[in-house]
Amino acid sequence: MAGRGDAGAATWQSMGVNRDPAAIQRDIEHARAALGSTLDQLVVRTSPKTLVGKGKASVREFVDSTRGRLIIGGTAAAVTTLVVVNRLRNR
C-alpha cells in the first residue's frame, strides 16, 4: 500500500500542483466536519429509541392493512381450531 501513496504523491508533483499547508489543513477540517456529521446521523438512525419507534410504526402499518388483518385473522382461526380439536381429542 505504501506504493499507492507514493504514486499519488508523484502524480501531484508531476502535475505541478502545489498545495500549501493552509489549504491541506482546510481540507482536513472540512473532511472532519463531514465525517462528524455523518457519524451523528448514524447515531440517530441506529439509536434504540429510533429503531423501536420504526419497528412499532411498521407493526401498526401491517396490522392496519387489509393483508395484515387477513393474516392475523387466519392465524387466530387456525390456532382456535387446533385448540378445539386438541381438547375434543383429549376428552
Question: Which of 85, 59, 53, 57 lies closest to 72, judged by CA?
Answer: 59
Does residue 1 register a pLDDT over 50?
no
Domain assignment of residue 26, yes or no: yes
Average model confidence (pLDDT) across the chain: 85
Domain assignment of residue 39, yes or no: yes
Q: Assess contact for 44 and 50: CB atoms under 8 A.
A: yes
Domain assignment of residue 11, yes or no: no
- C-alpha neighbours within 13 Å on the C-beta side of residue 80: 6
Domain assignment of residue 10, yes or no: no
Domain assignment of residue 78, yes or no: yes
Express each pLDDT in 26-51 by its tens digit: 999 999 999 999 998 999 888 999 99
- The model's pTM is 0.49
Domain assignment of residue 8, yes or no: no
Confidence (pLDDT) at 5 = 52
Confidence (pLDDT) at 56 = 96
What is the extent of the structural domain holding 60? Answer: 20-89
pLDDT above 90 coverage of the chain, percent: 63
Domain assignment of residue 81, yes or no: yes
- Provide the number of structural domains found in the chain: 1
Domain assignment of residue 64, yes or no: yes
